Amino acid sequence: MKRVLTIALLALSFNLAGTAGELPLLAHVHGRSFASLNGKWNYVIDPLENGYYDYRMKPLRNGFFVNAKATRPGDLVEYNLDASPTMDIPSDWNTRDEKLFFYEGTVWFKRDFKIGKQEGKKYLLYFGAVNYSAKVWVNGKKAGEHVGGYTPFNFDVTGLVVDGDNFVVVKVDNKRHQDAVPTLNMDWWNYGGITREVMLVELPETYIEDYTVQLSKGRYDLITGVARLNDSLPGREITLSIPGLGVTRVARTDSRGEARFEIKARPRLWSPASPELYDVIISNDGETIRDQIGFRQIETRGKQLLLNGKQIFLRGVSIHEEAPFHQGRAWSVDHAMTLLGWAKEMGCNYVRLAHYPHNEHMVRAAERLGIMVWSEIPVYWTISWENENTYLNAERQLHDMITRDRNRCAVIIWSIANETPHGEARDRFLARLAGRARAMDNTRLISMAMEVTSDNRGVNTLNDNMNEHVDVISFNEYVGWYRGNNESARAMTWIVPYDKPVIISEFGGGALQGTRGEKTRRWTEEYQEELYRVNLEMLDKIEGLSGLSPWILVDFYSPRRQLPGVQDFFNRKGLISNWGVKKKAFRVMQDFYERKAREIK
Ligand code: GCU
């Protein structure tokens, strides 16, 4: 009886993590012992999923994932992964193979890898992100599945990998679906593929799965920490040390496998002016994890935003995760440093990472550079609010975004939505999501990008039921672009009837870099420059204005932008062109932020 019960519990624990074989997300994967599986992967384009279904649409027992080979003259095998073309991973297929620029469907990926498998070790296969859904096999056996294009996931492959030669096959499908998150319609390119790093992680049987180390909410003299093992094993010693503070503590795990720490200390605080990070070392027998963690407080007081108890103004800009100069999904430290370098040049101390969690390098680079971060899940536009699976998908993506970045002090705002249409079902969905975010992390601010829906002869009043569920009121406005022209802004006023700080999460307009002309002619740099000038003048009058993230740092690919000779599938609202050339409006933002920095440090 006992054995049956154990197996049942084991199965249940796997299912709790999502799907059989998927394990709870491993914290700080780059701080573990891993073999990178980045590099050349073979790929097969499979629009009819012929490698997964038979001609009656029944799943194949021996699909492409078994990586079959014709070994005798009479063998019939109608694919050959080894002989198929290769693609550098991480990447999106859209910008790597011109046949795939607009492609939405399945592409199979395969990579060989060697390991020296050790007894008593656990092996996790970790993906930084795959857009949009992934099915994964190792040596022809199913490792697991995952849905969600912008958050990491990992599978237990200990029982699948062998000592020596192995291969992994991934079926990636980026088709859009109404009930997905995001849904069918979005203003960014639906880049498909293994878009972030892949690692094979080697761990002790019992390892530190997750940890949180931060200042206790509202305190500057108390650091709290919790470290959780992958097993509910009590009595295990875990050591937490912060050499820069001269502290080392040992704690024992409780019945849930969690060890808790309380450290009286006054760390030097992280801020944009002084992005102080401490080495934090967490270890238990057989494993030592090194991280860099900053300590700070973020809170609101009425309409003021406070960092470490002092009022701040978020001098920001919105950024899509698009690689500078050659487009495609950004994923590397270099991509992050270029994009954030441009933001710094503009005078930013804050970025809105739209509209989905960006790669971990972007968040860690922001932390090192002293740039605060708004991080968002792609609950974007017309989501299926009544669909429980859609909600659970959104909640899973929220959970994984927070789990991955909860130790990143640069992240100050979790955003749960963008420009969602008002309605009862949407309010219920988002209120539930906001509650979940707060339950997971009560140390950061919750927000979402709202829309202003009422305009009474130039008086715009924000009126969104979600105001009571967020800590910061944020909204997008497009006066001068989607609403009226640059003359309209002069007569516009804004009323935000909530006693909370206000961030303008988007404003802006388009210009084709290099197009000169009258400031009344759309698509000229002069029009965009004037739009920024009059919008800043209008917005700066809003009571409680605590931040801006104009839309957007760089021109980006979008399937919604078809104007030939001007857009050519680019959204041209960038302050910088897709070739990295600054437009005249960039200077307007620079001057405004220079003044703002003098007003509010
Ligand atoms: C919206 C939306 C963005 C979009 C922008 C635009 O506000 O949030 O994702 O790209 O407008 O129309 O350019």
In this structure, the answer to whether residues 79 and 99 fall within a common structural domain is yes
Q: Quick one: pLDDT at residue 491? A: 86
Mean pLDDT on 390-406: 98
Q: Is residue 6 part of a domain?
A: no
pLDDT digits (tens, 9 = 90+) for 50-89: 999 999 999 999 999 999 999 999 999 999 999 999 999 9
Q: Is residue 19 part of a domain?
A: no
In this structure, the answer to whether residues 239 and 199 fall within a common structural domain is no
Judged by average pLDDT, the poorest of 388-397, 451-460, 561-570 is 451-460
In this structure, the answer to whether residues 51 and 200 fall within a common structural domain is yes
Mean pLDDT on 345-369: 98
Q: Is residue 2 part of a domain?
A: no
- Given pLDDT bands bounded at 50, 70 and 90, which one contains residue 601? low
Distance CA 306, CA 240 (A): 29
CB 525 within 8 A of CB 481: no
Token pair 């809105």: residue:
352
Is the minimum distance from the CB of 407 to ligand 1 under 6 angstroms?
no
Q: Is residue 391 part of a domain?
A: yes
Q: Is residue 187 part of a domain?
A: yes
Q: Is residue 412 part of a domain?
A: yes
Judged by average pLDDT, the poorest of 8-12, 308-312, 396-400 is 8-12
Mean pLDDT on 296-310: 98
Q: Quick one: pLDDT at residue 15? A: 37
Please give the single-letter amino acid code of residue 30: H
Q: Quick one: pLDDT at residue 157? A: 97
In this structure, the answer to whether residues 291 and 309 fall within a common structural domain is no
- Going from the Cα of 446 to the center of ligand 1, the distance in angstroms, rounded, reads 21
Q: Which of 551, 561, 572, 573 to mutate to test the pocket of ligand 1 (most atoms within 8 A of CB)?
A: 551
pLDDT digits (tens, 9 = 90+) for 277-298: 999 999 998 799 999 999 999 9
- Going from the Cα of 535 to the center of ligand 1, the distance in angstroms, rounded, reads 16
Ligand 1 atom closest to 449 (CA): 8
Q: Quick one: pLDDT at residue 496? A: 95
In this structure, the answer to whether residues 166 and 236 fall within a common structural domain is no
DSSP assignments along 247-298, one per residue: EEEEEE--TTSEEEEEEE--PPPP-SSS---EEEEEEETTEEEEEEE----E
In this structure, the answer to whether residues 235 and 255 fall within a common structural domain is yes
In this structure, the answer to whether residues 254 and 323 fall within a common structural domain is no
In this structure, the answer to whether residues 567 and 480 fall within a common structural domain is yes
pLDDT digits (tens, 9 = 90+) for 234-276: 999 999 999 999 999 999 999 999 999 999 999 999 999 999 9
Q: Which residues contact 437 (CB under 8 A, 6 or more apart)?
A: 398, 402, 414, 416, 446
pLDDT beyond 60 at 4: no
CB 360 within 8 A of CB 128: yes
In this structure, the answer to whether residues 580 and 497 fall within a common structural domain is yes
Ligand 1 atom closest to 355 (CA): 9
Is the minimum distance from the CB of 360 to ligand 1 under 6 angstroms?
no
Q: Quick one: pLDDT at residue 375? A: 98
CB 330 within 8 A of CB 302: no
Is the minimum distance from the CB of 551 to ligand 1 under 6 angstroms?
yes
Is the minimum distance from the CB of 404 to ligand 1 under 6 angstroms?
no
Of the three residues 272, 295, 318, the one that is the final residue of a domain is 295
Q: Which of 183, 374, 506 to mutate to test the pocket of ligand 1 (most atoms within 8 A of CB)?
A: 506
pLDDT beyond 50 at 562: yes
Mean pLDDT on 462-468: 96
Q: Is residue 20 part of a domain?
A: no
DSSP assignments along 290-327, one per residue: EEEE----EEEETTEEEETTEE--EEEEEE-SB-TTT-
Which stretches does DSSP call E strand in 321-438?
350-353, 372-376, 411-418
Range of the domain at 346: 300-599
| pTM higher than the cut 0.85 | yes
Nearest-CA residue for atom 6 of ligand 1: 187
In this structure, the answer to whether residues 572 and 517 fall within a common structural domain is yes
Q: Is the dihedral of CA 367, 553, 420, 300 positive or negative?
A: positive
pLDDT digits (tens, 9 = 90+) for 157-212: 999 999 999 999 999 999 999 999 999 999 999 999 999 999 999 999 999 999 99
CB 35 within 8 A of CB 168: no
More confident residue, 37 or 600: 37
Token pair 């609202």: residue:
573
In this structure, the answer to whether residues 125 and 102 fall within a common structural domain is yes
| Nearest CA-CA partner of 357 in 395, 320, 401 | 401
pLDDT beyond 80 at 10: no
- Going from the Cα of 375 to the center of ligand 1, the distance in angstroms, rounded, reads 16
Is the minimum distance from the CB of 419 to ligand 1 under 6 angstroms?
yes
Is the minimum distance from the CB of 571 to ligand 1 under 6 angstroms?
yes
Q: By percentage, how much of the chain surpasses pLDDT 90? A: 94
pLDDT beyond 60 at 477: yes
Of the three residues 235, 262, 295, the one that is the final residue of a domain is 295
Q: How many domains does the chain have?
A: 3
Of the three residues 262, 295, 328, the one that is the final residue of a domain is 295
CATH of the domain at 95: 2.60.120.260
- Going from the Cα of 271 to the center of ligand 1, the distance in angstroms, rounded, reads 30
CATH of the domain at 357: 3.20.20.80
Q: By percentage, how much of the chain surpasses pLDDT 70? A: 97
Q: Is residue 17 part of a domain?
A: no
In this structure, the answer to whether residues 233 and 146 fall within a common structural domain is no
pLDDT beyond 80 at 552: yes
CATH of the domain at 220: 2.60.40.10
pLDDT beyond 50 at 9: no
- Going from the Cα of 201 to the center of ligand 1, the distance in angstroms, rounded, reads 38
- Going from the Cα of 449 to the center of ligand 1, the distance in angstroms, rounded, reads 11
- Going from the Cα of 187 to the center of ligand 1, the distance in angstroms, rounded, reads 6
pLDDT digits (tens, 9 = 90+) for 490-540: 889 999 999 999 999 999 999 999 999 999 999 999 999 999 999 999 999
Nearest-CA residue for atom 9 of ligand 1: 187
